[in-house]
Structure 1
Amino acid sequence: MNEQEGTEPGLPRGARLGVDVGMARIGLAASDPDGLVATPVETVPRVLAGGGGRGQAPRSAEGTTADVARIVAEAADRFAVVVYVGLPRHLSGKEGAATADARAFAGRLVAALEAAGEGAQVRLVDERMTTVSAHQALRTAGRKTKQHRSVIDQAAAVIILQSALDAERAKGERAGEVVEARTVHDTHE
């Protein structure tokens, strides 16, 4: 490991965020600046529209929903270099409605980060089985199932982020696919 950069050669030092986008809640996790360990941050309420469509709620003057704004603020506070958003594919690898929703959310996040002058890159990473793994980890830790709801999204975000960090170390490059604002089409707006 390169002591000055604190990470593998070629990867700039800086915190990373992990995001688990759910229909009702968003789990948020963060790493240290060296990208070694993912830890839970908080559960952010997902913004819903009155008509039931996901992500269509009132927006700020800049056009950002409160859930996206919270993640942008966390990225700014931690000087994040990457935000990893979980991409919920089916076990077969095919994409469905939840995948499209996560892609749309990631696109809104990219736009909000750019509008705020934040340079964090947004990347989508496969999150198959993270919620199942999070439930198992919480049960193993002695948490009752009724207690899981308040922290399950954070635990899933930790798994998403830690997997991405492990992939970074193994490959010497960022994990997942880059999200660019101009290539994302939000069908929910």
Structure 2
Amino acid sequence: MAQTLQLAATFTLLPTNHPNKHSSSPIMCFPKIRAEISLQEHPFPPNAMRRKLDSSWIGGFSLGIDLGLSRTGLAISKGFSVRPLKVLELRGQKLEMSLIEIAQQQEVDEFIVGLPISSDGKETPQSNKVRSVAGRIAIRAAERGWRVYLQDEHGTSTDAMNRMINMGLSKTARKQSHDAYAAMMVLERYFSEHGKGTEMVLPKQLDLQEKLRKGPSSDSDDLDFF
């Protein structure tokens, strides 16, 4: 089984000294709020967040996933440019194993799974199915030190169709590639928000959590990925 861990930015108030006419002591005022990201708040930060904090950090590729009832779209990126990868017409264990194999081939170390959200900000019946699949993927991924995150995918299907139309793709090409472009939209949103607001799908098994802490690197058993 797996649980989710909400990742959000921490907010720090920045005080400024403002003199008080009736006192010799300054009053601490808080005229603005600045969003700050702290790795201490996120034991397993997504790649986009780490790169925001440390531009020299390399890490692996991120695999965007748009889960459908019968088709699953994939996209890939390291944050510089996002490209559609392929569409899988698989379900169940065959889909899960195929995702792991593709991740291995593409040097992926995290999965960004689109989570269906309605226009009023609530989850849909499909959301539960996505969470279930993401939980199973997370267990397989954690065995290799890879992480799984959920990303709000509201509106990405429409965005994907508009993107393909603007690119001049034919109706047939749009039908064949729509799921992969939807995954691309999910991944673009993830990187544009630097991973803030994602949910990590965290396996409950402590041994798997330890593998996540160590990360995918096998160069040294004493080297922590985070």
TM-score interval, normalised by the smaller of the two chains: 0.7 to 0.9
Q: Once superposed, which parts of structure 1, at least 4 consecutive aligned residues long, lie more than 3 Å away?
A: none
Question: Displacement of 1:30 after TM fit?
Answer: 0.8
Higher strand share: 2
Q: Which residue of 2 aligns with 1:27?
A: 73
Q: Which residue of 2 aligns with 1:58?
A: none
Q: Which residue of 1 aligns with 2:193?
A: 167
Q: Trace 1:174-185 onto structure 2 (pairs within 5 A).
A: 176-182=198-204
Q: Point out where structure 1 has 5 or more consecutive residues left out of the alignment.
A: 1-5, 48-54, 56-64, 184-189
Structure index of larger Rg: 2
Cα distance between partner residues in 2 of 1:181 and 1:166: 27
Q: TM-score, normalised by structure 1?
A: 0.74
Q: Which residue of 2 aligns with 1:149?
A: 175
Q: 1:15 aligned to 2:61?
A: yes
Q: Which residue of 1 aligns with 2:23?
A: none
The secondary structure found in structure 1 opposite 2:75 is strand
* C-alpha RMSD over aligned residues: 2.0
Cα distance between partner residues in 1 of 2:53 and 2:118: 34
Contact conserved, 1:85 with 1:124, CA < 8 A, in 2? yes
Cα distance between partner residues in 1 of 2:197 and 2:203: 18
Q: Which residue of 2 aligns with 1:71?
A: 99
Amino acid at match of 2:89: P
Q: Trace 1:1-150 onto structure 2 (pairs within 5 A).
A: 7-10=51-54, 13-32=59-78, 35-47=79-91, 55=92, 65-114=93-142, 117-150=143-176
Q: Structure 2 vs 1, CA of residues 13 and 174 (structure 1 numbering), >3 Å: closer, same or farther?
A: farther
Equivalent pairs counted in the alignment come to 154
Amino acid at match of 1:17: L
Question: Displacement of 1:134 after TM fit?
Answer: 0.6
Q: Give aligned-pair identity as a percent.
A: 25
Q: Which residue of 2 aligns with 1:186?
A: none
Amino acid at match of 1:140: N
Q: Point out where structure 2 has 5 or more consecutive residues left out of the alignment.
A: 1-49, 206-226
